[in-house]
A and B are shown apart, each in its own frame.
Chain A
């Protein structure tokens, strides 16, 4: 556990804390600029104040949910790094998946402090930072052009499209095209189903053939923990729908994970 002491050292808090502080300053800069611009263009100050108060109160519960995520990851990655990741840019489900995949490539069998090495940690940290940077990269290169395009009046865009068509009147229309409208969301969900299925499939496969083909002598703990996680999530969803408690959404992932992780302490002794 020597690695955890180093991952929780003051130096790590200074490195991660300084980035968190920088991002806090970025938020203040954007907020002050927006407030001043709003005033200058004659927006109702009361509306802007209401926005600030509503957003601050809205953010408290999800933030507590995010804090639970920091606790969940602190046992394997120390506290400062998950604190940085979840304060800035990250999201709990993303961080855990990417950290696990990176851990695997560095030769660890699981994302755990008992196997962690300094090289594995710095590699995991780099993968976590790189995998999620695309939104920022795209915003850097493309946000100006994209927002400009979006702000064009609809009639102008329609007119340009009509012009393009009239330029090529002889161009034959395609006979039949696959109708993929509305598939984007489904494809994203399917991608996550694929991701989850690969891991759950590996837990079942390990249980059945982990210690020899069809011997059923592999560890059942990961599968049992996943089942508890799923049951906890089902309970969260039931309570949310039953009592119309939408605020529970903020806690469902982190709360289910903590339930399953608590169960793991007992399951590891029994199974």
Chain B
């Protein structure tokens, strides 16, 4: 058997065992993550409310199901087998894992779809995940003495407005370059919430019509652009 064939066989065995181990570790992580709320519920003396869980999943779960499928289809070709299992377990894909893996790939000059890319991508994602885990663990340790300050009543307005703070920042990010779609969608939603104030209690359900309006407008714009180019 030639040296090249030997190497190919080693690599194929590595990929097969990566899928095997990746699947086992993925399912264990899933069980741990889905089990944790129940363990915490047992500790707090109140299990999750399944009716509220169902409603929340219906309202916002659909959005993340779609984005999850899209992300999966886009990222797996970039990351390879080992990198994909690890990236989906460790998260923070778009803000860290993908750019980090691409950066490593560029530095060593690995080409997509090659064994070299598979190894580099796995090493890169594993290393960056470990760094995040260490930085967060150290940060959380340092935060423990700060707990009384973080819980002081003076700071409560800050923590009660986490969500508006996030959506303001995201609005700036997503509205830019999509002005028409954003303005029309925001106008329609504002009108609805103004005329039917009780809808404020079901904002998460209103994401569905709001998303549908935005996607419809984006589709119209996209088709127009294609037509103009043709």
Residue in A134, A150, A193 whose CB lies within 8 Å of B64 = A134
Is chain B's interface secondary structure helix, strand, loop, or mixed overall?
helix
Q: How distant is B225 from chain A, measured CB to nearest CB, in Å?
A: 9
The listed residue (B38, B60, B147) touching A122 by CB distance below 8 A is B38
Q: Shortest CB–CB separation between residue A141 and chain B, in angstroms?
A: 9
Complex interface residues of chain B between 164 and 178 (CB less than 8 A to chain A): 164-176, 178
Q: B135 is contacted by which of A63, A209, A222 (Cβ under 8 Å)?
A: A63
Residues of B within 8 A of A54 (CB): 103-104, 107, 124
Q: Is the CB of A22 within 8 A of B29?
A: yes
With A and B bound together, what is the CA distance between A206 and B218 in angstroms?
A: 27
Q: CA separation between A223 and B190, bound complex, in Å?
A: 12
Cross-chain contact B84 with A143 (CB below 8 angstroms): yes
The answer, among B94, B132, B197, for a CB contact under 8 Å with A63, is B132
Interface residues of A in 182-238 (CB under 8 A from B): 182-184, 186-206, 208-210, 213-214, 221-223, 225-234, 237
Q: Bound complex: CA of A106 vs CA of B177, how far in Å?
A: 36
A52 lies within 8 A of B72 (CB)? no
What is the interface of chain A mostly: helix, strand, loop, or mixed? helix
Q: Please provide the chain A residues from 39 to 77 with a CB less than 8 Å away from any CB of chain B in the complex.
A: 40-43, 47-48, 50-52, 54-56, 58-60, 62-67, 70-76
The listed residue with most A CB atoms (<10 A of its CB), out of B129, B169, B202, B212, is B169
Task: Tell me which residues across on chain A come within 8 A of B223, comparing CB atoms.
Answer: 178-179
**Is B154 touching A34 in the complex (CB atoms < 8 A)?**
no
Does A140 lie within 8 Å of B14, measured CB to CB?
Answer: no
Report the bound CA distance from A159 to B157 in whole Å. 63
Chain A: interface residue total (CB-CB under 8 A): 172
Q: List 30 A-B contacts (CB under 8 A).
A: A23-B133, A28-B130, A29-B21, A41-B115, A51-B123, A56-B130, A83-B140, A87-B132, A92-B95, A96-B163, A122-B47, A125-B36, A131-B61, A139-B22, A139-B88, A184-B70, A190-B217, A191-B67, A204-B193, A209-B193, A226-B164, A226-B167, A229-B165, A229-B168, A233-B172, A249-B95, A253-B170, A256-B172, A260-B169, A261-B161
Given A131-B60, A140-B23, 18 further pairs, Cβ under 8 A: A8-B147, A23-B90, A27-B130, A28-B126, A33-B21, A34-B119, A71-B150, A87-B133, A101-B60, A104-B204, A125-B37, A132-B68, A132-B91, A135-B68, A193-B174, A194-B215, A213-B195, A237-B172
